Amino acid sequence: MRPEAVIFVGIQGSGKTTFYRERFFETHVRINLDMLRTRRREQLLFKACLQSGQSFVVDNTNPLATDRARYIEAARVAGFSLVAYFFQTALRDAMRRNNQRAGKSKIPPAALAGTLKKLQPPTVNEGFSKVHTVEISAENQFVVT
């Protein structure tokens, strides 16, 4: 079985990190700029996953196809299966979840709106073998289609 490169796409507060913890924590390394703080550290971890054949999840907003392209080609060349998860959420719902955060993890509302404005849903034309849509139900459960 080929290792898997999973790329999350969605605005802040759309549930990406919680989804990672529920679905991928046991099997995939989490690559996240909030945690790693610099692109250099992110690249080091990304390259280590590629070289070792370790499945990973890029848990960033990745709103533009150009943001995602930095991972796609390298993972494809390394023999990884590429899967996107698009977190579809209304701005008001993301803001509500964001308001439950504290400290540095709370994102300014203008940043949330700015990310939503430039958000480009991922497509198989980018190189993904699968593109899933993730929504959060009224019961606060993830629904993947």
pLDDT tens readout for residues 74-120: 999 999 999 999 999 999 999 998 888 888 778 888 999 999 999 99
| Residue 19 belongs to domain spanning | 4-144
User: Model pTM?
Assistant: 0.93
Q: CB–CB of 58/36 below 8 Å? A: no
φ, ψ dihedrals at 51, nearest 5°: -70, -35
Q: Which of the four pLDDT bands, split at 50, 70 and 90, describes residue 121?
A: very high
The string of pLDDT tens digits covering residues 9-62 is 999 989 999 999 999 999 999 999 888 989 999 999 999 999 999 999 999 999
Specify the 3-state DSSP secondary structure of 120. Answer: coil
β 29-31/142-144 pair status: unpaired
Angle between helices 65-77 and 39-52 (to 10 degrees): 30
Residue 104: alpha-carbon gap to chain centroid? 19
Number of domains in the chain: 1
CATH of the domain at 34: 3.40.50.300
